[in-house]
A and B are shown apart, each in its own frame.
Chain A
Amino acid sequence: MALVVVNVMPKPEILDPQGKAVTGALKRLGHHGFAVRQGKRFEIQVDGEITPARLDEIRQFAESVLANTVIENFEVVA
C-alpha cells in the first residue's frame, strides 16, 4: 500500500477567515510575527503500485473533487 498526499490551500488572493482566526489566537498567546493560512491535507492510500496513470488519476480528481479551483490551489505529493 502506498501513500499519496494532496494539499489544498485557499488561493493567496482569497480571504482565509479561519487562518485569520488562528493568527489572532496566536497573537493573544504572545506569538508575534506569524501569519497563518489554513488548508486541507488529504492522505490517499493507493492499492498496489503508484504508476504514472494512477498519479494522473489522482491529479484529475484532486482538481475536480478535492479542490475547488475557483478559490483553492492544490498539489499532489507522491
Chain B
Amino acid sequence: MKIGVVTFPGSLDDCDAIRAVRLMGADPVALWHADDDLKGVDAVILPGGFSYGDYLRSGAIARFSPVMDQVITAAGKGMPVLGICNGFQILCEARLLPGALIRNVGRLFTAIDTRLRVESTSTAWTSAYETGAEITIALKNGEGNYQADAATVERLEGDGRVVFRYLDNPNGSVSDIAGITNERGNVVGLMPHPEHNVDDAITANLDGRGFFQSVIATLTA
C-alpha cells in the first residue's frame, strides 16, 4: 500500500509524515509539488509547513501547484486525502473542504499538546478511533483559527462532518472545530499534527497512530 506525501517548497513536516507512514507499515512515496502524476499512490498526505512561504495567504499558492490538480481529481474519485496544518489550509484554499483558517485569536504562534474529542469515525482517516474518544495531539501554528459562515457550520454540524473538536479551544476556531471532512468522508483536514504522535522512540503519546491505522484499514477493506 502506497501513501504519497507531497513536498511543497517550504513544507516542514513532510519527512515526519513519511516516517510515520513507514512506521505504521505502509510504503511512503515522496511527491513533489511540480509533479503532474501521483505515482500510483493509494492515498495522499499534504503535510505541515509554510508552502511557498505562505505568501498571499496560507496555502493559497500551493493550491495552484501542478500536483494539486492531480490531488483534486483523485479526491473527487474517492482517494483518501489528509491535510495536516498547512495541508488543511491548502485543502480549504482548494475548496476540497469548506471554510478558511485565519490568524489565531491571541495573535500568538501556538505550540502545545492539544486535547481533542473524536466526533466522527466515519472517515477514511478516523475509523480506528472510537466516537467520543479523547486524544492528545501536537499542535503548532499561527493561523489555525477555523472560520466559516453560519450556514456552512450548521451544515457541517448537521451532516456530522466535524471530525475533531478542541476540548480547550486554543485559537478561536468557530464551534471549537479542529478538523473536518468532505461529504464522502475521504478528505480530512485538521490543524493538529498526528504524524508527531506515532513514534515511541520520541514520545510516549501515540494517539496519532489511529490516523494511519484507519487509512490502512480503509484501503485494505
Chain A residues within CB distance 8 Å of chain B: 10, 14-15, 17-18, 20-21, 65-66, 68, 70-71
* Contact between chains at B103 and A70 (CB < 8 Å): no
* Contact between chains at B172 and A15 (CB < 8 Å): yes
Q: How far is the CB of A61 from chain B (nearest CB, A)?
A: 11
8 Å CB interface, B142-180 against A: 145, 147-149, 172
Contact of B100 among A18, A20, A66, A68 (CB under 8 A): A68
* Contact between chains at B100 and A70 (CB < 8 Å): yes
8 Å CB interface, B105-125 against A: 105-107
* Contact between chains at A70 and B60 (CB < 8 Å): no
* Contact between chains at A70 and B56 (CB < 8 Å): no
* Contact between chains at B100 and A17 (CB < 8 Å): no
Is there a chain A Cβ closer than 8 Å to B65's Cβ? no
Q: How far is the CB of B154 from chain A (nearest CB, A)?
A: 15
* Contact between chains at B102 and A15 (CB < 8 Å): yes
Contact of B105 among A17, A66, A70 (CB under 8 A): A17
8 Å CB interface, B70-129 against A: 92-93, 98-100, 102-107
Please name the residue on chain A nearest to B98 by beta carbon: A70
Inside 8 A of B60's CB, which chain A residues have their CB?
A: 65, 68
Inside 8 A of B92's CB, which chain A residues have their CB?
A: 70
* Contact between chains at A68 and B107 (CB < 8 Å): no
Inside 8 A of A18's CB, which chain B residues have their CB?
A: 103, 107
